[in-house]
Structure 1
Amino acid sequence: MPETSTNIAVVDAFFRAVERGDLDAARALYAPDARIWHNDGAGEQDRDANLAVFQLFSTAIRGLRFDVSRRVDAGDGVLQQHVLRGQLPNGEEAALEIAMYLAVGGGRITRIEEYFDVATVTHIITTARESVGA
């Protein structure tokens, strides 16, 4: 079995922290000046804005998990495909396919470029916010 690269270990630890709802651990795996870009046209987020979305997800989505179908060390980061899964507050099962590049430097995530279906994300966030009164 091949040895896990440092980049993959960082990315794996990050997603496991988010799944557990341990946003302090996730924050520690981001570089302080990390930037997160999504294909939704809203521009880039900083670390704290991105963690706020994960906070909403971990609060409102039961059984939140990332089913990774592909993860490749690209030298300066990791290419990953996964499906975000869990149960929304209305009982609906969430399934969001995502492809992303996570740049890693110094043992921390420095940049994320994330591609997903915008309509599905909007539905998940709206449903989650309604459940927590946000």
Structure 2
Amino acid sequence: MLKESTAFSGFAVKDLQEARRFYGEVLGVTVEDGAMGMLVLRLGGGRPVLVYPKPDHEPAGFTILNFPVADVEAAVVALRDQGVVFEHYEGTPVETDELGVFRGGGPLIAWFTDPSGNILSVIEDEGPA
């Protein structure tokens, strides 16, 4: 029944204006005004991701949005130049290097958070699935 659906995703933030600035100005994502006071992030191919306000928002303990990139190291450096701070994990199964890149198997990945504490990543694009 749902296999032909054009599904989309969404997540909460504490402050929409802060999210608009971060996603639009820092990350360079197209941000539009959506219905009912929400924001719409337009990602590759125009796929929408809804961002909605939730004043008592508590971020999830997992990655909510992954950005596939051709070169993770270059993306980390470029985002750091925009003020993005990358997470560093030590002594765990996902230990990261000095750049914040996990190199322990699978695609290269580096995690960071938005102003609401939502976990995001840049992940090596391994091409068509």
Same fold (TM over 0.5): no
Q: TM-score, normalised by structure 2?
A: 0.27
Larger C-alpha radius of gyration, 1 or 2?
A: 2
The structure where helix makes up a greater share of residues is: 1
Quick check: which one's strand share is greater?
A: 1
TM-score using structure 1 length:
0.26
